[in-house]
Amino acid sequence: MSIKEVARIAGVSTATVSRYLNSPEHVREKTRKKVQEAIRSTGYAPNTLARNFRRGKTSLVVVVLPSVGDPFFEGVMRGIWRVADAEGYSILIRETQFNTHEFDDYSEIVFSKQADGIILLASTSPFTSGPAERAGHGDRLPPIVIGCETVAPQLSQFPSVRVDNAAAAAEATAHLVQLGHRRIGFIAGLQASLLTRDREQGYRQAMAEAGLPVADEWIVEGRQTLDGARAAARQLLALSPRPTAIFCANDEMAMGAMHEIRRAGLRIPQDISVIGFDDIRYAEILDPPLTTVAQPTEEIGEHTMRRLCRAIDGGDIGAEPEIVPHRLVVRESTAAPPADES
């Protein structure tokens, strides 16, 4: 079935059918209904690939994320998919596994225009050479939007959608201070990450505002993983005196820390409080339920995809980050320190 047959049945020109397929809002309602009925009666299916080729678009967006198994990204991806589906885009997912592996094939997909744009979710750059360097050698730089955080310094030139990580970390730390804690440990993510630096900055800021010192041994890298956090928690628990509370830079690390605290024969929060960051789906059902900073993951995904769509369509989206609100969720993993430790 061809577009000419659809036009004949609808009693309109092929140009009108084409305009309906590409921009239905530019076709009068009466004519639109005729074309819709003709398409239904003929079973016509437009050749999307050919149409996109003529328009210079692939309708494909690449999403790069550290790990497809990270529960935090579930909500973000739901938001991305919702907008992508409404706008007619397909999604290709690529994971970096928290490293800087060089993806030559990936670079070719993007720079050979097989994809219209890129979303980087709290990810390092997947390119063999930096996007700016590729552009400098004559490659056309595709639209890039950062979802969640700008992790690597070389990506700070691109627009992002995220929470204010420093402010959120300061609020989480201040919550522990208000409960009476004075020795607060911090399990950080990857030290090379700007995200880690922002959350550590917030932690240090809240401690300074409370007039509390931060001992070097209270800050331990947890590598953003369960195993890394378990090792970091063991290190903190071995201190004398040990911290009465631990702030973890994400919920997955908080889960690892809680496991080690219980293995050490300590109770949460009676002996030691734990607070996380992200409010992943498991946070509420942990034992005890985890106090954490909630990020609006689906909102982040939706806003990131919408911003990328505007860039693909030629709109000026600027380079400034779009800040979405965080929320401190207080549950049962935090309480006042033991009376002899306060």
Q: Which residue has the higher pLDDT, 125 or 211?
A: 211
Q: Residue 314 has what pLDDT? A: 86
Q: Tell me the mean pLDDT in the region 103-121.
A: 69
Residue 209: give its domain's CATH number. 3.40.50.2300
In this structure, the number of other CB atoms found within 10 A of the CB of residue 81 comes to 18
Does residue 116 lie within any of the structural domains? yes
What is the number of structural domains in the chain?
3
* 337 inside domain: no
Quick: pLDDT tens for 14-69: 888 878 877 777 788 889 889 888 888 887 766 554 555 445 577 889 898 887 77
Q: Which residue has the tokens 């402010």?
A: 167
Q: Are 178 and 258 contained in the same domain?
A: yes
User: Is 108 in the same domain as 175?
Assistant: no
In a domain, 119, yes or no: yes
Contact 34, 11 (CB under 8 A): yes
Instruction: State whether the Cα torsion 227-229-233-236 is positive or negative.
Output: positive
- Is the domain of 175 the same as that of 90? no
Task: Give yes or no: residues 257 and 301 share one domain.
Answer: no
CA dihedral for 120, 125, 127, 133, sign (positive or negative): positive
Tell me if 220 is assigned to some domain: yes
Q: Are residues 200 and 274 part of one domain? A: yes
Task: Give the per-residue pLDDT at 156.
Answer: 76
Q: Which helix (H) or strand (E) holds 78?
A: helix 72-87
Task: Please check whether residues 193 and 288 belong to one and the same domain.
Answer: yes
Whether residue 29 is found in the same domain as residue 69: no
Do residue 172 and residue 291 come from a single domain? yes
Is pLDDT above 90 for 236?
A: yes
Question: Rounded distance, CA 235 to CA 242, Å?
Answer: 9
Which CATH number belongs to the domain containing residue 9 in this structure?
Answer: 1.10.260.40
Mean pLDDT of the 223-234 span: 94
Same domain, yes or no: 181 and 286: yes
Is 53 a member of any domain?
no
Asked if the structure places residue 208 within a domain, the reply is: yes
Of the two residues 259 and 9, the one the predictor is more confident about is: 259
Q: Is residue 342 part of a domain?
A: no
Q: Same domain for 203 and 257?
A: yes
Count of C-beta atoms within a 10 Å radius of residue 134: 18
Q: What is the per-residue pLDDT across 118-166, written as a single tens digit (0 to 9) for each?
A: 898 876 665 555 554 554 444 566 788 999 877 676 777 889 999 999 9
- 339 lies in some domain: no
> Do residue 132 and residue 279 come from a single domain?
no
Q: Which domain holds residue 238?
A: 165-296
The answer to whether residues 86 and 183 belong to one domain is no
Q: What share of the chain in percent tops pLDDT 90?
A: 51
